[in-house]
Each structure stands twice: as C-alpha cells, then as structure tokens.
Amino acid sequence: MERYYQKDIETMPREQLKKLQSERLVKQIRHVYDNIPYYREKMDEKNVKPSDIHGIEDLHKLPFLSKADLRDAYPYGLMGKPLKDCVRIQSTSGTTGRRVVAFYTQHDIDLWEDCCARAIVAVGGTDEDVCQVCYGYGLFTGGPGLNGGSHKVGCLTLPMSSGNTERQLQFMTDLKSTILCCTPSYASYLAESAIEAGIQDQLHLKAGIFGAEAWTEEMRQDIQNKLGIKAYDIYGLTELSGPGVSFECSEQRGMHINEDHFIAEIIDPVTEEVLPYGSKGELVFTSITKEAFPMIRYRTRDICVLNEEPCSCGRTHIRMSKPMGRSDDMLIIRGVNVFPSQIETVLLNQGMPANYQIIVDRVHNSDTLDVEVEMPTELMSDTVTDINKKEKELIAALRAMLGITARVHLVAPKSIARSEGKAVRVIDKRKLY
Ligand code: DLL
C-alpha cells in the first residue's frame, strides 16, 4: 500500500469532501467580505452578501477576480490579515509585465507546505529519500514550496536553487539524490549535461517533480528515458500559494487538485459561463483556507480539462489535465491560433531535442513564424542536402499540425541559451514595435 501523507483527506469520499468545501467556502467568503474592502465592493456591485453563500452550489453567484484586479489592488489591497500577522511574501518574476506579490501567514505557509508534501509522497517520496530542489529560491515559489514539503516528508533536502549545473550534478551523484525537483526544461538540460559528462550510471534518481511551465508528453518521455526516472507533473501559481495546487500520482494521468484547499471550475474564457467537467476551458480557482491572500474565483488564464473519474491510486480529489497553454500565451499568427506546446510536440515526435525557440515577427504586414531547433549531434556529420531534407520534413509536420507554414532552421547543438528556471520559448517581435 502506498504511503499517504494525509491519507484521510486525500481519499475522503466525495460527498464528505463537498461538505467540507462548502463549510470552508462559507467561512472564506465571510472572511473576505469582512476584512477586504476590495472584495466587499465587488460583491456589493453584484449584490451578493455572505449570507447568500450557503455552500459550493452558490459559488457561481460570486464575482470573478482577474489579473487586472490584482494589478489594481497592488500591493496591499487584497490582504485579508494585518501586516503584523503576515510572515512572508513571494512574487512572480513579472516576465509578462505583471508582478504579483502574495502574502502568507504562518498558517498559510503550513498548508502550502502540506500540499507540496503530498506531491512528494505521491511520487513515492519517504524519509529515506534525498530530495534535490533546483527550483529557484527567493521570491519565486518553486524553491521555498518544495523545500518545505520535502522537510515535512522528512527527506534529506538539498536546497540547491537553480543554476551551476556542474555543482548540481556533483551533489546529485555524491549525495545520491533520489528525487529531483526543477522545471522540465532544466531537467532536460541536466539530463543532457549528465549524458555529456558520461555519468548517467552514477545517478540514483528515481523520480522527478517538474512544473512551473508547460511541457508535453513527448518531453516527459524524453526526460524519463535520459534520466532513467519517472517524471511527474506539478502545478501551481503564486496567487494561490505556489507549487502543489495540484500534482500527479503514480498513474501519471492528470494532476490531483488539493480540493480541501481549492475549489476548481472551468469556464468559457469569453462568455464566463461555467462548463461541465470534461470540457476544455479556463481554469478558475477559489481558495477556501487562505488567510492573508484569499483568491475568490480567480481566473488563471490556464486552459485545461477537469476529470472527476475515480483514480486507481485511491485519491478522490479530481484531476486536471496538463495546461494546454495559457489563453494569453496563445499566439495568433496570420489569424490562426498557435500554442507553443503544439510546436514542441511536433519537434519531439520528429526526433528533435527539446531545445528550440519560436520567433514571431511581422514583415510587410504579414506575420512570420520561424522555429529554430538544435540539430541532434548525429545530424552534424550529415551533408547540407540531408539537413535541408530534415528541415523540409519538419516544415511539413508543422504545417499538418498548425495549418500554417513555418520556416525551420536547424542550428548547431548548444547554440540556444539553456534555461535554469522557466524557459523562454517564444520571442514575439510584434510586441516590440
Ligand atoms: O510557476 C509555481 C510553481 C513552481 C509550479 C514550481 C510548479 C512548480 P508562477 O510563477 O506564479 O508559479 O506561474 C504560474 O505557471 O498559471 C501556469 O501558466 C504555469 N504553470 C505552473 N505549473 C505548470 C505546469 C509557479 N505543471 C503559471 N504545467 C501558471 C504548465 C504550469 N504550466
């Protein structure tokens, strides 16, 4: 029998879980209405009072919260507790120009670390494991979240942070790390570097917990093969705490949402209509246990599908699919919707490495799409004709997937900058004009 960190909660019968969610939702709404004027105004505008919320069936009455609200209320406008009760902030990198600063009480941190501990246990982690955390530490939630979870499980924790690949590999082999936590793009780079150094057989890794950015099934296979491990997905966002909002179990088929802390909904991103489980749409979360920075019906912009089918692992919490890109990551190229993940799928299916960059530009009023991908070392010895042939094959495969033509450029191995955190896959020069 698999060891559960919080078995009673994770395997709670659904009826009981819904009752727990309802009780917690009622309390959370009372908390935000009484303590956060920003929410009070939003609820008053919609004519909803805390007394109208009796349980999860009333969730739809509440107003949505968006990134724009977070910007409006920056920095202190959404705090549910006085500063003296808060012990930490975390923040997003603000790469999309929208820095989010989230606040935590000690209780918030404790629950967040529980969520991360569940994720570690779900991949088989125990107090016998050596857990190497190479997510960034500091403002980014990745390092601190998994670090806290790893302590709770009792793993020997290596707080490596990101970067310094040579040192990462040295600790990994010397200290016999068994669990690796980092972004999938960094895992891929670590795998490549281990192979290059010829030390794969000195690794003791059994599992990886990879998230914070979109990655495909093809990339999972690639990392699993190269590192000889099982690669598991983990999802989360700063607004809701950080990693551990959901995580994969041994099934590797969707991420269980920690539903005792977060209620998930899927909506049509345009009409805001709530869609049934199984539909593809924008993921919306309501926190039900947060004190310092509660989020009510927060629109994540992540597009995915919720699945309530029972899981053979025994957990009763629903699963979310891998986000299929963010509604604001979607590129519109010559009127066609293109997700970077579609391009990654094509490249990996065609035997290319996961080192690529997508460049979008506008020339003479027409959008251009260029895909640069590093050629596998075997191709280096091929003739120019062979390389052109491979580029043509990739162009055809991309056209079949996307419905538009891209230019493909095979570039020398290692010529595309490696990422130690979230990879920058897309350069959209149209935004720079
Ligand atoms: O990326 C938290 C995190 C850290 C998750 C470590 C997992 C591991 P933010 O920087 O606020 O927080 O970015 C949140 O990243 O809305 C998604 O678009 C994306 N994202 C996070 N996890 C995944 C994943 C952290 N597993 C944003 N797959 C989210 C795809 C993900 N996208």
Confidence of residue 418 (pLDDT cuts 50, 70, 90): confident
Label residue 239 by pLDDT band (50, 70, 90): very high
pLDDT in tens, 249-296: 999 999 999 999 999 999 999 899 999 999 999 999 999 999 999 999
Please give the pLDDT value at position 366. Answer: 87
Q: Which ligand 1 atom sits closest to the C-alpha of 236?
A: 5
pLDDT for position 1: 36
Indicate whether 79 pLDDT > 70.
yes
139/393 Cα distance (integer angstroms): 43
Write the residue with the smallest CA distance to atom 4 of ligand 1. 142
Determine the distance separating the centroid of ligand 1 and the alpha carbon of 224, expressed in angstroms: 20
Distance 341 CA to ligand 1 centre (A): 15
What confidence score (pLDDT) does residue 240 get?
98
pLDDT above 70 as % of the chain: 97
Please state the atom number of ligand 1 nearest to the C-alpha of residue 234: 26
Q: How much distance in Å is there from the Cα of 237 to the middle of ligand 1? A: 5
How far apart (Å, rounded) are the C-alpha atoms in residues 416 and 427?
13
Minimal-distance CA residue to ligand 1 atom 29? 237
Minimum mean pLDDT range among 36-45, 159-168, 313-322, 377-386: 377-386
Whole-model pTM: value is 0.90
At residue 327, the pLDDT reads: 65
Q: Which of 237, 283, 422 to mutate to test the pocket of ligand 1 (most atoms within 8 A of CB)?
A: 237
**CA–CA distance, 92 with 241 (Å, rounded to integer):** 11
CB neighbour class for 72 (10 Å; exposed up to 12, middle 13-18, buried from 19)? exposed
Q: What mean pLDDT, rounded, does the chain reach?
A: 93
Q: What spatial distance separates the first Cα and last Cα of the chain, rounded to whole Å?
A: 58
* Per-residue pLDDT at 87 exceeds 90: yes
pLDDT at 157 over 70: yes
Q: How confident is the model at residue 167 (pLDDT cuts 50, 70, 90)?
A: very high
Distance (Å) from CA 245 to ligand 1 centroid? 10
State mean pLDDT over 332-349. Answer: 89
Question: What pLDDT, in 10s, does the model give residues 286-324?
Answer: 999 999 999 999 999 999 999 999 999 999 999 999 998
* Mean pLDDT in residue range 65-86: 96
